[in-house]
Amino acid sequence: MKILVKFLLLMIILFPSVVQAQAPAIPDLILVTVDHSDNGVLIQWNPSADSDIQFYHLYKLIDPVDMTFQKIFSFGPYTIEYKHMTSGLTNLAYAVTAEDSTSNESLLGDNVHRAVATTVEFDLCTEANIVQWTSYEGWEGDISGYRVFGGISGSPLQELTFVPASTNSYSHTGVAANTDYIYYIETINISGITSNSPLDTVSVLYPVAPSYLTIDHVSVLDEASVEVQYSADIAGEVNSFRLLRRSNPGTPFTEVDMRLNVMESTQVVQDQFLTSTYTYQYLVESVFQPEGCGTSLVISQSNQGNSILLVNELNDPIVTLNWTPYESYEPGLAGYIIQRNDGSGEFADVQTIGPQFTQWQESIQSMVNGFQAGELQYRVIALSNPHNGGTEEQSISIITTVVIETHMQVPSAFTPNSNDINSEFKPLMDFAPRDYLMIVVDRGGRKMFETSDPGEGWDGRFQGGSFVDEAVYVYYIQYTDYTGLFNTYTGNVTVLYP
């Protein structure tokens, strides 16, 4: 066949008038298109202008470089289309010739149409499917543009974009990870007819995400810092992590900490801010840096965690605590533990409540004992449901302090060296003040007793020595309570002996 074509071309050059007189007019190809319902290639052509046509011959381009064709089918004079079912959907270039009753066959010439060929690949750097295609050959100058169709494999394909005839690529962004996509190109002729390319499939493959990535807890350390602990599977190819935070739901997260190629599955990060004023939500992302890419890719995300902002309100005698809810533990939130420090230096559990509550109240009246400091500290602990073999995570809130005004009554007499409750002199108070001073003197101004401890009373001795005589003595008391209120008391106290 190759020799025949070359011979015919030589005949055109040497004897153009003879060849043109003998060869029938070549039929014009209309289009080459792929029928996606059965993957057949439909070839359509117009009849030859000559009436003495016995056969149409369909050729397929075998070698685009040498322009070698292979005859694959012959048809009667009334056939003007054929669906090629064994094309393999590659190099879809075809030509049609006409043969008259004297066995003269028209030349192939430029009457070749080639359907669009597509290639699709997933670009990990841009996280997009890159669709590229060749131009439709045979409609040169008559192409108005290309429509790109695509979608998830198994779902109806949608038109993604329309591009002019000068464009031969499209970037499909926003594709889902670990998902197969299918694409094809529709070429549009200015006459309105269209040609479809074969379907092409691509898999969107990301590195395998860690099998687990969880924020274990977010605990307030002090008024300026919090501790965020997270755990991750680092056995796979993704072992770099980024900690993000935001102040309000719906706002963008910003990076707080980045850790590359970590060697420990549990990571602890300290973040700095005014924990008594603000609360932040936290999120951890596993990230992967592909070779040759300028930016890292987010592979997976953890649950969210947040610092717990706790505030109080005192409406004597009721203390009300309000806090931001903790969201969220991977195994779920079990509830909250309310803790109180009443001056001993240690926090103790007061009550445990359910996860639906973010408010709690108690009366301070039950704590009145005459020496309880007028400062109570509270904190809330968000407790997770058990996981990882029964582990319960705890996220600790900021400490909130309740300051209480000191109220005082001073007795007018007492009986030293007795066994009754009036054996020492000291004021009766509900909550002890922050700063305190009491001095007792006799009528002559000699100091009998002095203390800065609101829980310490005068036992009636002269500067700790022998008991004083029955008489009237003068006391001076001054204090500043935990609310900042300064007070003074001056009066007389009578020493009586039974």
Which residues are CB-neighbours of 253 under 8 A, at least 6 positions away? 244, 245, 246, 281, 283
Q: Report pLDDT for 21.
A: 52
Distance (Å, rounded) from C-alpha 308 to C-alpha 289? 34
CA-to-CA distance for 421 and 264, rounded, in angstroms?
A: 63
Percent of residues in the chain assigned helix, strand, coil, to nearest 5: 5, 50, 45
Structure tokens given for 346: 């240690």
Class of domain 221-306: mainly beta
* Domain parsing of the chain, residue ranges: 2-114, 118-204, 221-306, 310-403, 408-495
Spatial strand order in the sheet of 486-495: 413-414, 486-495, 471-480, 435-441, 447-451
User: In this predicted structure, what is the pLDDT of residue 391?
Assistant: 81
Decide if 134 contacts 115 (C-beta within 8 A): no
For residues 176 and 153, give the distance between their C-alpha atoms in angstroms, rounded to a whole number: 12
| Per-residue DSSP letter, 4 | H
CATH number of 310-403: 2.60.40.10
Can you give the pLDDT at residue 2? 40
| Both tokens assigned to 85 | 């079912």
Q: What is the pTM of this model?
A: 0.71
Q: Provide the CATH number for the domain formed by 408-495 in this structure.
A: 2.60.40.1220
CA–CA separation, 363 vs 320, rounded Å? 9
Q: Do domains 2-114 and 221-306 have the same CATH topology?
A: yes
Residue showing tokens 């109080």: 312
CATH number of 118-204: 2.60.40.10
Q: What is the CATH number of domain 2-114?
A: 2.60.40.10
CB atoms within 10 A of CB 61: 20
pLDDT tens for the chain, residues 1 to 498 = 444 444 444 444 444 444 445 789 999 999 999 999 999 999 999 999 999 999 999 999 988 888 889 999 999 999 999 999 999 998 999 999 999 999 999 987 778 999 999 999 999 999 999 999 999 999 999 999 999 999 999 999 999 999 999 999 999 999 998 999 999 999 999 999 999 999 999 999 999 999 999 999 999 999 999 999 999 999 999 999 999 999 988 899 999 999 999 999 999 999 999 999 999 999 999 999 998 888 889 999 999 999 999 999 999 899 999 999 999 999 999 999 999 998 878 999 999 999 999 999 999 998 888 788 999 999 999 999 998 777 899 999 999 999 999 999 999 999 998 888 889 999 999 999 999 999 999 999 999 999 999 999 999 999 999 999 999 999 999 999 999 999 999 999 999 998
Tokens coding 397: 């809130």
What is the rounded distance in angstroms from the CA atom of residue 22 to the CA atom of residue 24? 7
Q: What is the pLDDT of residue 329?
A: 94
